[in-house]
Amino acid sequence: MAAKSRKKRTTEIFALGNEAVVEGALLAGCTFYAGYPITPSTEIAEEMSARLPRLRGGVFIQMEDEIAGLGAVIGASLAGRKAMTATSGPGFSLMQEHIGYACITEVPLVLANVMRTGPSTGMPTSPAQGDVQQARWGTHGDHPIIVLSAGDVQECLHMTVTAFNFAEKYRTPVILLLDEVTAHTREKITLPDPDDTYVFSRLTPSMPPEWYLPYEDNMRGVSPMPPLGSGYRYHVTGLIHDDHGYPTSNPKEVEQLMQRLFRKIDQFFYDIQMVDEIMCEDAEICVIAYGCVARAAELAVQQARERGEKAGLLKLKTLFPFPRPAVEKMIRKCPTLIVPEMNMGQMSREIKRVNNGQSKIHTLNRVDGQIITPGQILSRILKG
C-alpha cells in the first residue's frame, strides 16, 4: 500500500468567500448551523441550509434572532456537535451575551462575522473592519478569545478549518472576521483533499464518570469534554464555577478559574499566532495589514519594490491574541511602519502600544464604505 502513490482528490471550484467558509466548515466536520439571516453573511446560511440536511445527522435551523442562533449553537456544541453560526455587525452585537457564556463555560464554536460599515445598521452592503476591537472585548468581563481574519476566498476556507481546530483544541469560541468584500468576492479556489486536511476534534474523557472533573485545572488548562447524554453528568453554568462546575464565590477558586482561562490560550500562543511575512527579509518600510486590505497591500508592496523601495508586508491572520512577537520583530527591523485599515485605527492602537515609541507608525484609515486601494497604500509607502 505504501508504495502506491495515492491520487490527490483536490477539486477546483468557483466560489464566493461566504461559500468557501461553508466548504471549510464542512471539511472540518461541522454538522450544525443555527443563525439568523443578515446581510452580507446570508450566503453562509443559504449554503448551509442546502448542504447540511444531506449529511448524516446534519442540522440547519433558522432561529428567531442572533441571540437564539448562538444559543442553539452552544447547545449543539454541548451535545457533541461541531457547530457554527455566521452574522454581521448588528447581529454580532446581539451575540455578545452568548460569546461570554461560551468563554466561561468553555464551549467550542465558530462564529463568522462578516464586517459591514457601522455603527448600528450602518451600510449593510459596504465593507469595513470596524468590529476588530469588539471581537476582542465585545462581551463583558475579562475573557480570553481567539480572533482570526481572512483576506481572500481560499483563505476563507483554510481559516474556517483552522478556526474549528482552535475551538476544539482549546474549548473556546473562535471568531472569524471577514469583510463584505472578501465575503462577496467570487474566485477560483482549490478544495483540499479531506485526507490531507488537518482536523482536530475535541478530546472526550476516558476515565470512569465518577472521577471526571469538567473544569479541572490540569497542565493543558483544557479538560476533555463529553457530549451531553454520554454518561458524564455534569453541571454547566455561566456563573463562576469550581472544577466540578458548581457555582462558587470562593476567591481562591475564582482566581484559579480566571487564571486558567487565560493560561490555556497564552501557553499555546505560538500555535495560535499566524502571520505571513511577505518580502520582509530586508524590508525597511513595513505595511501591517489584515483582511482584504492585506491583499491590496501585497500588490502595493510589490509595486513599491519595483520602484526600488525596500517595502515588506506583515499580514496578520491571527488578530487576537495579538501577535506581539511578530509585530515586535518588524518594529525592530523597520524604522517606518504603515498600518492601513478600514476603521479609525483599531489595530494600529495595538501596534502603537507594542511599539512604545521605537518606530514611526503611520496610519491609513478609510471609513467611507470603500476599500483601501493598492494605489493609496503605494503612495503612502512612497511618501515614507
| Contacts with another protein, residue ranges (CB under 8 A) | 32, 34, 53-54, 56-59, 61, 63-65, 67-81, 83, 97-98, 101, 227-231, 233-239, 244, 246-247
Write down the least CB distance from residue 220 to another protein, Å. 24
- What is the closest distance, in whole angstroms, from the C-beta atom of residue 54 to another protein in the complex? 5
209 by DSSP, 3-state: which?
Answer: helix
| Residue 316 · residue 349 · CB < 8 Å | no
Q: At what angle do helices 324-333 and 346-355 cross, to 10 degrees?
A: 70
Beta partners for residue 298, in sequence order:
none
For residues 163 and 110, give the distance between their C-alpha atoms in angstroms, rounded to a whole number. Answer: 6
Nearer CB in complex with another protein: 102/163: 102
**Position 287: which residue type?**
V
Cβ closer to another protein: 20 or 74? Answer: 74
Closest contact distance (angstroms) between CB of 83 and another protein is 7
Q: In the bound complex, what is the minimum distance in angstroms from residue 210's beta carbon to another protein?
A: 10
Between 230 and 358, name the residue whose CB sits nearer to another protein. 230
Q: Is 203 or 213 the residue whose CB approaches another protein more closely?
A: 213
Alpha-carbon distances of 58 from 3, 33, 48, 82, rounded to whole Å: 37, 8, 10, 10
Provide the minimum distance between the beta carbon of 367 and another protein in the complex, in angstroms, as a whole number.
33
Nearest one of 133, 147, 89 to 345, comparing CA atoms? 133
Q: What is the largest CA-CA distance in the chain?
A: 68
Q: How far is the CB of 187 from another protein (least distance, A)?
A: 30
Q: What are phi and psi of 297, to 5 degrees?
A: -65, -35
Instruction: Please state the closest distance from residue 50 (CB atom) to another protein, in A.
Output: 10
Instruction: Give 191-194's long-range contacts (Cβ < 8 A, gap of 24+).
Output: 191/10, 191/11, 191/12, 191/13, 191/23, 191/27, 191/157, 192/10, 192/27, 192/157, 193/8, 193/9, 193/10, 194/9, 194/27
Strands 11-16 and 186-191: antiparallel
- Name residues whose C-beta falls within 8 Å of residue 190's C-beta, 6 or more positions apart in sequence: 10, 11, 12, 154
Choice between 228 and 258, CB closer to another protein: 228
Smallest gap from residue 291 Cβ to another protein (A): 30
Q: How far, CA to CA in Å, does 174 sit from each of 73, 107, 229, 286?
A: 13, 10, 25, 28
| Cα dihedral 146, 150, 156, 158 sign | negative
Nearer to another protein, 9 or 244 (CB): 244
3-state secondary structure 238-252: CCCECCCCCECCCHH
CB of 152 to another protein, least distance (A): 32
In terms of CB distance, is 79 or 344 closer to another protein?
79
Output 65 or 266, the one with its CB closest to another protein: 65
Q: Which is nearer to another protein, 211 or 270 (CB)?
A: 211
CB of 70 to another protein, least distance (A): 8
Side chain identity, residue 362 = H
Of residues 128 and 167, the one with the C-beta less far from another protein: 167
Q: Say how far apart CA 347 and CA 339 lie, in whole Å.
A: 8
